[in-house]
Structure 1
Amino acid sequence: MIKLVVFDLDNVIIDGEAIDEIGKLANVEDEIAEITEKAMQGEIDFETSIKDRVKLLEGTSIEDIQKVADELPLMNGAEDTIARLKEEGLDVAIISGSFDVVAQTVKDKLGIENAYTNSFTVEDGKLTGEVTGPLVSGSKLDVLKEHIEGNDTSLEEVVAVGDGANDISMIESAGIGIAFNAKDSVKEKADVVVDEKDLTKVLDEIINQLSTDVVENDETEQVEEAEDAEESTEEAEKPKKDGLPESDFVLADTMEGVRKQKDEKEAEIAKVTEEREEFNRIAKEQRKIRDELNASLKENLNKAIEFRNERNEINKKVEEAKKARNEANNKIRNLEWSSGKRDKIKIENEIKKIDKIIETRVLDIKKENQLVKNANDLRKQLMEIHEDESVKGEAQELKKLSEEEHEKVIDFSEKAQAAHEEMLKFFRKTDDIRTAADEAHKKFIEARKNASAKHEEFKSILSDIHVINKKLGSNRPRKRRSASNKSSSSNGNKNREEKERAEEIFDKFKHGGKLSTEELLLLQKYNIN
């Protein structure tokens, strides 16, 4: 389960390397960029690289650095990604070898609470060339461990996103490590690789994992509840010394009455046994239904996510086609103006307007003559305009391109809508399946509880039967051995064998075994308890 998402700052949350931009203030950007690249590739250790780069900035104004920090652009998708992660209830933090002056600006823009970075040493508003902080010599993993120590979070519950060699320690150790436009050495250690400069791609991976966690957590909770119920049943079934509860059964006054009580109890225990087994059957059936539904739930959820990803990819193509179409249309408009076509249209419209005034209004001679003169002058201008045929041909090609791109927009939009509808269909189906799985689980738990209750009832009745058997056994006349009874010895052997068998059956019962009617009668016969 994901609880925390940790981001590097440079080239991850912001689109650029802060210290490279700051280096421009001191005209040392090339030297700094060279050291930065070596550090990112892992050719030199981070402590050496950060100290060497900051040393080059000695004397730079902290006020100027703040201005640079304010102007650093966020990575594409950063705002949407951080906002969505917070909506999902996840903790978001920055762990970066960059600087607090930059991180604070980003924190304010995105509403991130925690950022662990280094700090410039400043005297009289100028950098001294020294740097301090937890990430000068320490690793990002050390900082991450310190952050989660008091937050009831384990490394397995962390997503770490980075791009450079100094991110490897936390990417390797986190539950999910994401290499974002990273160096090859980082990609080799990551669980997920994103090669687009768009943080929403990282968001998609996290949301997908959260969706999977929801399904798995639901299944785990259901299994744990079932196991708890089963354990409760097993506890109830554990024998107390003789395996049965104490009986307060009141015997009838006569032996005939006692025998009648025995018949009634035997009928009662047979009925309870049947009911208990029916509840066990229902529990088994509902557990199977629940497990099958949960498997289907996961399958449909994956389908929904597939269609969502497909829709998003198609929507990108829609935007690309729109952009190409709009660019073509803009070029057409520019060409029309440069070719003289727009001038011709404008003059023709002016002439039409003047002609209409002359035809429809009552004018004095002077004003009418002036309008006629204006119209004639415009006609002369019109005759002097010659539309550039080559430009006209280019405009026609652009118009054709615009129409083709517009067709793509329509086609891709329809496909995106179809994928969207499929996504919604599977999400709705997922909701229905989850509801059915929850209902099956409730029935499973209810059946297990009922079976457990029936088993307790079974033991209580069996305890009563033992009381009855004791009474009947104590009043049974002792048999006298007869010399003429040739089978008495063999009968005795048989009785001993049956009694041993009865003791084995009782041991089976004490350990929760299911008894047949024949076994139950044998227990009653020898009054084993």
Structure 2
Amino acid sequence: MMPHPFAEQVEVAGSQRATMLAVCLDLEGILVPEVWVNVAKQTGIEALRRTTRDEPDYDRLMRYRLDILDENGITIDDITAVIEAMEPLEESVGFLDSLERRWPTLVLSDTFSQFARPIMDKLGNPTLLCHTLVIEDSGRISDWTIRLQDQKRRTVEALRAMNLEVIAVGDSYNDTSMLAAASAGILFRPPDNVVEEFPQYPVTQDYHGLAAAIDEAASALGE
């Protein structure tokens, strides 16, 4: 008999099996387009296309981004205008709604509350945990405040410490510690370099396939 695709990820003993499951999703690339890629398109600053798909060191990536914003005089108002024109990824709203009807669902993101605010209403205002920007009166983004180092992983660990099973979905380097901490991890439309470095996670390319993978993982976890 072939092993279940999620069998290697599921490590819950029968006598310790949790009675509740939660789903944790990354935001950008999973439910909405990449903010910085859209800012790059609208401003013509190609250097801003670099994301966590390319650079695993988030602090280095953010300092790089803020330096570029300073060099080009880009303010929070400019970025907010780009985000307000963005729409959720096609079919993502229905997918998210179906998840929330079945299980507690958290969006865990390394974005910032000021970036997320314009688009979260379009997603139905799901629960979002993210970071915060430091913005000067002039609108210049001078720094950022991390809610918690590696907050995606630590949120998943906290949920599991509460005896919940967790299915986590991500697409980038900065999601992989969250996937590793979860009861089951799934990649959604990841770049080839992430697939190659993390072959232990199933890969999905559309919401139908992602929903099926989540159902499969939930079944393996006893749901």
- TM, length-normalised to structure 1: 0.35
Output the amino acid matched with 2:121. D
Match of 2:157 among 127, 132, 145: 145
| Deviation by residue 1:14-42 (Cα, 9 ceiling, x = unmatched) | 1x3202222456542x1121x32xx4245
Match of 1:31 among 28, 47, 62: 47
- In structure 1, how many angstroms separate the alpha carbons of the residues matched to 2:105 and 2:118? 16
Match of 2:114 among 96, 101, 112: 101
- In structure 1, how many angstroms separate the alpha carbons of the residues matched to 2:69 and 2:41? 10
Equivalent pairs counted in the alignment come to: 201
- Where does residue 179 of structure 1 map in the other structure? 187
For the 8 Å contact 1:172–1:190, the answer to whether it is kept is: no
Match of 1:192 among 181, 185, 202: 202
Structure 1 position 19 matched with structure 2 position 36: yes
Match of 1:131 among 109, 127, 144: 144
- In structure 2, how many angstroms separate the alpha carbons of the residues matched to 1:173 and 1:104? 28
- In structure 2, how many angstroms separate the alpha carbons of the residues matched to 1:69 and 1:96? 16
Cα 1:125–1:201 change in 2 (3 A) is: farther
- Where does residue 211 of structure 2 map in the other structure? 203
Percentage identity across aligned positions? 23
- Where does residue 67 of structure 1 map in the other structure? 81
| Deviation by residue 1:119-169 (Cα, 9 ceiling, x = unmatched) | 22211251233222236x5352124334x278x343xx1111111111110
Output the amino acid matched with 1:45. D
Q: What are the residue-to-residue correspondences of 1:221-232 with 2, within 5 Å?
A: none
For the 8 Å contact 2:112–2:133, the answer to whether it is kept is: yes
Cα 1:98–1:117 change in 2 (3 A) is: same
- Where does residue 101 of structure 2 map in the other structure? 87
- Where does residue 115 of structure 1 map in the other structure? 128
Q: What are the residue-to-residue correspondences of 1:196-345 with 2, within 5 Å?
A: 196=205, 198-210=206-218, 216=222
- Where does residue 62 of structure 2 map in the other structure? 50
Output the amino acid matched with 1:55. D
- In structure 2, how many angstroms separate the alpha carbons of the residues matched to 1:182 and 1:73? 20
**SS of residue matched to 2:150:** coil
Cα 1:55–1:129 change in 2 (3 A) is: farther
- Report the Cα offset of residue 85 of structure 1: 1.0
- Where does residue 277 of structure 1 map in the other structure? none
- Report the Cα offset of residue 61 of structure 1: 3.3
Cα 1:78–1:134 change in 2 (3 A) is: same
**SS of residue matched to 2:28:** coil
Cα 1:122–1:63 change in 2 (3 A) is: same
Larger radius of gyration: 1
**SS of residue matched to 1:80:** helix
Structure 1 unaligned spans of 5+ = 218-529
**SS of residue matched to 2:120:** helix
Cα 1:183–1:95 change in 2 (3 A) is: same
Cα 1:128–1:86 change in 2 (3 A) is: closer
- In structure 2, how many angstroms separate the alpha carbons of the residues matched to 1:11 and 1:129? 25
Match of 1:169 among 177, 184, 187: 177
For the 8 Å contact 1:9–1:103, the answer to whether it is kept is: no
Cα 1:49–1:177 change in 2 (3 A) is: same
Cα 1:166–1:210 change in 2 (3 A) is: closer
- Where does residue 7 of structure 1 map in the other structure? 25
- Report the Cα offset of residue 190 of structure 1: 4.3
| Deviation by residue 1:238-268 (Cα, 9 ceiling, x = unmatched) | xxxxxxxxxxxxxxxxxxxxxxxxxxxxxxx
Q: Which structure is higher in helix share?
A: 1
- In structure 2, how many angstroms separate the alpha carbons of the residues matched to 1:117 and 1:74? 18
Cα 1:91–1:54 change in 2 (3 A) is: farther
- In structure 1, how many angstroms separate the alpha carbons of the residues matched to 2:140 and 2:160? 34
For the 8 Å contact 1:93–1:112, the answer to whether it is kept is: no
Cα 1:190–1:84 change in 2 (3 A) is: farther
- In structure 2, how many angstroms separate the alpha carbons of the residues matched to 1:169 and 1:212? 21
Q: What are the residue-to-residue correspondences of 1:418-429 with 2, within 5 Å?
A: none
Which region of structure 1 is more displaced relative to structure 2, 163-172 or 52-61? 52-61
For the 8 Å contact 1:9–1:94, the answer to whether it is kept is: yes
Relative contact order, higher structure (CA 8 A, sep 6+): 2
- Where does residue 345 of structure 1 map in the other structure? none
Structure 2 unaligned spans of 5+ = 1-18
| Deviation by residue 1:415-441 (Cα, 9 ceiling, x = unmatched) | xxxxxxxxxxxxxxxxxxxxxxxxxxx
**SS of residue matched to 2:29:** coil
- Where does residue 8 of structure 2 map in the other structure? none
| Deviation by residue 1:340-394 (Cα, 9 ceiling, x = unmatched) | xxxxxxxxxxxxxxxxxxxxxxxxxxxxxxxxxxxxxxxxxxxxxxxxxxxxxxx
